[in-house]
Chain A
Amino acid sequence: AQTVTQSQPEMSVQEAETVTLSCTYDTSENNYYLFWYKQPPSRQMILVIRQEAYKQQNATENRFSVNFQKAAKSFSLKISDSQLGDTAMYFCAFMGQDSNYQLIWGAGTKLIIKP
């Protein structure tokens, strides 16, 4: 069965710094999708970035980028020039055919951006 592991329960950085959140996963599939979701204090779940496993190029969305290492089954999120509004829980998630395209979630990382 697929699993997703986020090994950092909580992180904090100063505003404007760069921070990297870790995520590893386990699967026997070759084609799948990976996601990072953000949940701010409002608790709205917001999609930050997605990566298709068949694409070698790392996905980027403005200040957010991923380091996708397929062989290592690693999918880390880098936030550049962090802002106070980035304070949130961040969840890594996996989706593949074997799980019937249901999201498999990590436990989350609480990120605090300090002024």
Chain B
Amino acid sequence: SQTIHQWPATLVQPVGSPLSLECTVEGTSNPNLYWYRQAAGRGLQLLFYSVGIGQISSEVPQNLSASRPQDRQFILSSKKLLLSDSGFYLCAWSVLRQGSGGYTFGSGTRLTVV
């Protein structure tokens, strides 16, 4: 069965420090991968998506970047965190060009920039 792992669960980082959040998927190949951010009590904002290794599309220009070094690995990074980067980050995967399954989400990372 397919599973998605996202870590860490909680992170407190000082302003100006780097960031690396990792997401891995098991039990499927060539998935679509997504990074979302969610402010408290708000909806989901798509940050990046990837349809294959090395293929990254950015939805919102910002202080963050994403990489997909392996088929089932998706990394969210920042060189220097801002206070506004605080939020809840969710990774998700879906089957390429198929809608029936929807998205499966990781358990999320709560990032607090201080």
Contacts of B103 in A (CB 8 A): 45, 47, 103
Task: Please count how many residues in chain B sit with their CB below 8 Å of the partner chain's CB atoms.
Answer: 25
What does the 1/0 interface line of A45-70 toward B look like (CB < 8 Å)? 11100101000000000000000000
Is A7 interfacial (CB 8 A cutoff)? Answer: no
Is B46 interfacial (CB 8 A cutoff)? Answer: yes
Which residue of the partner chain, among B97, B98, B99, B105, contacts A44 with CB atoms under 8 Å? B105
Among B34, B41, B46, B105, which residue has the most Cβ atoms of chain A within 10 A? B105
Beta-carbon contact of A47 and B88 below 8 Å: no
| B109 CB, min distance to chain A CBs, angstroms | 10
What does the 1/0 interface line of B98-110 toward A look like (CB < 8 Å)? 1110111101101
| B111 CB, min distance to chain A CBs, angstroms | 12
Beta-carbon contact of B32 and A101 below 8 Å: yes
Beta-carbon contact of B99 and A106 below 8 Å: no
In the bound complex, how far is the Cα of B99 from the Cα of A100, in angstroms? 9
| B55 CB, min distance to chain A CBs, angstroms | 13
In the bound complex, how far is the Cα of B37 from the Cα of A105, in angstroms? 13
| A101 CB, min distance to chain B CBs, angstroms | 5
Contacts of A3 in B (CB 8 A): none
Beta-carbon contact of B99 and A105 below 8 Å: no
| B102 CB, min distance to chain A CBs, angstroms | 5
Is B43 interfacial (CB 8 A cutoff)? Answer: yes
Beta-carbon contact of A101 and B105 below 8 Å: no
Beta-carbon contact of B99 and A33 below 8 Å: yes
Beta-carbon contact of B102 and A45 below 8 Å: no
**Which chain B residues have a beta carbon within 8 Å of chain A's beta carbons?**
32, 34, 38, 41-44, 46, 49, 88, 90, 92, 94, 96-100, 102-105, 107-108, 110
